[in-house]
Amino acid sequence: MKKRDVVINVKDDEDVRPIAMLVQVASQYDSSVYIDCESKHVNAKSIMGMMSLALKNGQQVTVVADGEDEGQAVTGIEEYLTSSPASAAV
């Protein structure tokens, strides 16, 4: 299991599309991928779960992955959450 704390650094946006993109990024990995935020532990491959987090710019989350490609999964999610283009906003 791999874990990494990440501070979200993306353009603020109320659009649902970036959340769907995050779910797509997580879904490309075979590993189980979760986002821990405050007391919530949410499956990053679940759009409804991710929407329930209401992630904001500057917020710290923990990316957790468990499986054969866990290292790549954590890195891929971190790169998405810390990219600044508008297309990557959460």
Residues 27-62 have pLDDT tens digits of 999 999 999 999 999 999 999 999 999 888 889 999
**Does residue 4 register a pLDDT over 90?**
yes
Average pLDDT over residues 65-90: 82
> Is the Cα dihedral 57, 13, 20, 76 positive or negative?
negative
Range of the domain at 26: 2-88
Number of domains, the chain? 1
d(CA 90, CA 54): 8
Q: What's the CATH number where 30 sits?
A: 3.30.1340.10
